[in-house]
Amino acid sequence: MLKLAHVDYGKLPWGVHFNEALRLSREGFAISPRLHGFIKFYQRVVPVAAEEGLLDTINYLFDDQGQPLPVGHLLKNPDYAETLTAVAEDPRNFYVGKIATDMVDRVQMAPRAGGLTEQDFADYEAKRHDALCIAYRDNTLCGPPPPSSWVAVGMVSGLLERGPAFSEGGAQDVVNWALFGEAQRLAYADRDKFVADDTFVSVPIAGMLSDSYLDERAQLISSKQAIEHITAGDPWKHQGVSKMSPGEDNTLDVAGTTHFIVVDGEGNVVSMTATVESVFGSARMSGGMFLNNQLTDFSRTPTDADGNQLVNAAEPGKRPRSSMSPTIVLDKDGEFLMATGSPGGNSIIAYTAKTLVAVLDWGLSAQEAIDLPNLVARGDLIRIEGERSEDSLEAALRSFGYQLEAGRGENSGLSTVVKRANGVLEGGVDPRREGVIEVVTIETPN
């Protein structure tokens, strides 16, 4: 994928982009307090004996006494430096040869041996896909198609534009938060039921983002009282198609994701989310990399309790549904206005939509938008970030009709860039994690 982008837009020779990662791999980086806390907290699920699993994680992130490496420890990864060196020479080295063979060997080791093969790697092909886009206010929001869940971000925006209007109170008005929550609930219900790999199953994307369907669903939203119980709608009829309704999804999303945004000097923009699924992936390592645990993004069973087929059931060659929702916003002239995105499991949709609403509707800066409490409204139990929300907001949301759970755990990692009217780029990073804003200069090699 990176090579495809480089062919289209790259200016420097392929390979020089890896230099900083190579330096960190060889020279090391200091373990931060947050990373140390994760190692310590998730020690309980890391295999510590051969019968429990491979010992890659314990050997990499723990000392000889089995204790988490301390804050400030210089963590080096020479194996990853070898991997990066090989990929810098030729991206196909990732898919054919030693790197792929070593990953297959690690996956196939007992216990819980997997079926990944070298042929799976050799057959892999990166593909370009057209973005999904939806008009919002005077802007255009764009994000990736299925199996990404970005369509839910688009639906949240479309529902808010058609439902009861926000007041001028912005983030200070509890009704605005309630309207945002209701749009989330409707979008999540449809996403959970319909979104999967659309090369394997039919996904009613056109219906979900159609004016007629969004108009119909937005009529359910009231500024006075919460919808008592949310169910998925029927976007198929808005595509002029009659389809059997799929079963009730039972996918269990696990967090283990990262996000970043880059805007270059010529105005090109990347909003990119990547994941290994769960904090240390499968806890197996190869080539200096944690191997992912991505199968958890499929439904846990192929059918629901009533025997109905689930669209996100696992199948050979199928891509699991992802909550990742990197977003780019264009203004009325088609020029770059904003980019945003976040890690955070299935809450990514809510986190990303929050920044869009806060900047485009409530007039906040990129950083102010990120700093707002996270409200995740998926189903009938609504979660809000208690550490950042006022008691009065929580009480008002309960009065609105929400079964509200206020507490910790809404661990977003938002990155947002906004281009202001004077052309200045304004960045925001999530204080809940370790984001940074940097101006980077890459020297052109002689």
Kindly list the structural domains of the chain, giving each domain's residue range(s) and its CATH number in brackets, ordered by start. Answer: 2-112 (no CATH), 131-446 (3.60.20.40)
The alpha-helical segments, DSSP class H, found in 108-149 are 118-122
Per the annotation, the verdict on 303 as an active-site residue is: no
DSSP helix/strand/coil, 313? coil
What pairs with residue 259 in β-bridges? 273
Of the pLDDT bands very low, low, confident and very high (cuts 50, 70, 90), residue 311 is: very high
Q: What helix, strand, coil percent values describe the chain, rounded to 5? A: 35, 15, 50
Residue with structure tokens 């919808």? 227
pLDDT more than 90, % of the chain: 84
Q: Which two tokens stand for residue 391?
A: 């008691």
DSSP 379: T
Which helix H or strand E contains 134, and what residues bound it? strand 132-136
Checking if the pLDDT of 255 tops 80, the result is no
Q: Peptide bond before 111: cis, by omega within 30 degrees of 0?
A: yes
pLDDT of the residue at 163: 98
The values of phi and psi at residue 104, to 5°, are: -60, -45
Q: How many Cα atoms sit within 13 Å of 191 on the Cβ side?
A: 32
- Which of these is catalytic: 57, 83, 257, 273? 257
Of the pLDDT bands very low, low, confident and very high (cuts 50, 70, 90), residue 249 is: confident
The values of phi and psi at residue 419, to 5°, are: -95, 115
pLDDT in tens, 171-206: 999 999 999 999 999 999 999 999 999 999 999 999
pLDDT of the residue at 444: 64
pLDDT more than 70, % of the chain: 97
- Integer-rounded Cα radius of gyration of the chain: 22
DSSP helix/strand/coil, 176? helix
The values of phi and psi at residue 413, to 5°, are: -140, 50
DSSP helix/strand/coil, 195? coil
Averaged pLDDT for residues 144-165: 98
pLDDT in tens, 257-278: 899 999 998 889 999 999 988 8
pTM: 0.95
pLDDT in tens, 360-406: 999 999 999 999 999 999 999 999 999 999 999 999 999 999 999 99
Residue with structure tokens 């210089």? 74
